[in-house]
């Protein structure tokens, strides 16, 4: 989870709890889960880029 996605999730969840209609709350909470998935994917991509750039054989 990146800092940005963590912050974004907090904003979304804060909005979600203030929705009185069930389906509205459901939407914002689902968006929060998607942002979590984005954060996870971002970390994985950054990790893979690091790993592939780390090539001691080409030093």
Partner 1 sequence: MTTLVLVSHPHLADSTSQQFLKASINSDEVLWEHIESQATIDIEKEQAQLRQADRIILQFPLYWYAAPAGLKQWEDTVLTRTFVYGDHRYPLAGKELGIVVTTGMPAKAFQRGGAEQITLDAALAPLAAVANRAKMKWLPTFAIHQFAYLDEPAKLQLVVDYQRYLTQTQPDNLQNKQAWFAQHLPAMIERLPLEQQQAGQLILTAFEQQQTDLEALTDTLGLIKEQEDD
Q: Which residues bind partner 1 (CB under 8 A)?
A: 4-5, 7-8, 11-12, 14-15, 18-19, 22-31, 33-35, 37-39, 41-42, 45-46, 48-49, 52-53
Q: How far apart are CA 1 and CA 36, in angstroms?
A: 7
The alpha carbon of residue 52 and the mean position of all alpha carbons in its chain are separated, in whole angstroms, by 23
Shortest distance (Å) from residue 12 CB to partner 1: 6
- The minimum distance between CB 56 and partner 1, in angstroms, equals 15
**Closest approach of Cβ 35 to partner 1, in Å?**
7
CA atoms within 13 A on the CB side of 57: 1
How long, in residues, is the chain?
A: 59
């Amino acid at each position: 989870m990146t800092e940005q996605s963590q912050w974004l999730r907090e904003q979304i969840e804060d909005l979600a709890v203030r929705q009185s209609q069930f389906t509205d709350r459901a939407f914002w909470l689902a968006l929060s889960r998607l942002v979590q998935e984005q954060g996870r994917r971002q970390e994985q991509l950054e990790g893979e880029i690091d790993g592939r750039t780390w090539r001691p054989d080409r030093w």
